Amino acid sequence: MSGECASQVRYDELERRRMPNSLRCHAPGASNSAAFSITSAATDLLTVIDATSLPAQEVYVYGVSYGTMWVQRAMLLEPHFPATNIRGYILDGVVTHSGPRRLVFSDWDTNHGRVASAYFDLCTQDAFCAAKFVRSTLAATAAVLYTRLNGASHPCQ
């Protein structure tokens, strides 16, 4: 690859010395991000595991939240790779491709918003918590915090 992004990198062509360039090619702002998919992410995951694990090393793949989608796809692709060291998969907080709307990522703000609103309401009813938010409610304070974070008016950019 010698500093250039390869259009396709097969798992058997990837060597450890090439990995930094390959990962750089997929950095934010890379011109080829339109080709990104769950399948390509799972293939990358299996490729990195294959390129970095020792022959006798047992590997267990752990996916959390959105990462469970990558792991599910990797489970389907893994039989098409040469013998890997993967001995098991762990799905923690499964996100499925189908199911009730409450599991859909685009609804998470709404779904979690109900929980947050109930929590904020409890704070106004609790003397100790309410005493900490005299000038503004906890909900209003949280909203200001998110506005500042999203507006990049903080040192943690």
Grouped pLDDT means (10 residues each) for the chain, 157 residues: 44 52 58 70 87 86 85 89 85 66 61 82 93 92 81 54
**In a shared domain, residues 27 and 43:** yes
Point out the domain boundary residue: 58, 78, 97: 97
- The predicted structure's pLDDT at residue 86: 92
- The predicted structure's pLDDT at residue 146: 76
**In a shared domain, residues 1 and 77:** yes
- The predicted structure's pLDDT at residue 127: 94
Residue by residue, DSSP assigns the chain as -TTS--S---TTT--GGGHHHHHHHTSTT-TTGGG--HHHHHHHHHHHHHHHS-TT--EEEEEETTHHHHHHHHHHHGGGSSS--EEEEEEES---SSS-GGG-GGGHHHHHHHHHHHHHHHHHHSHHHHHT-SSS-HHHHHHHHHHHHHTT-SS--
- The predicted structure's pLDDT at residue 9: 45
The number of domains in the chain is: 2
- The predicted structure's pLDDT at residue 5: 47
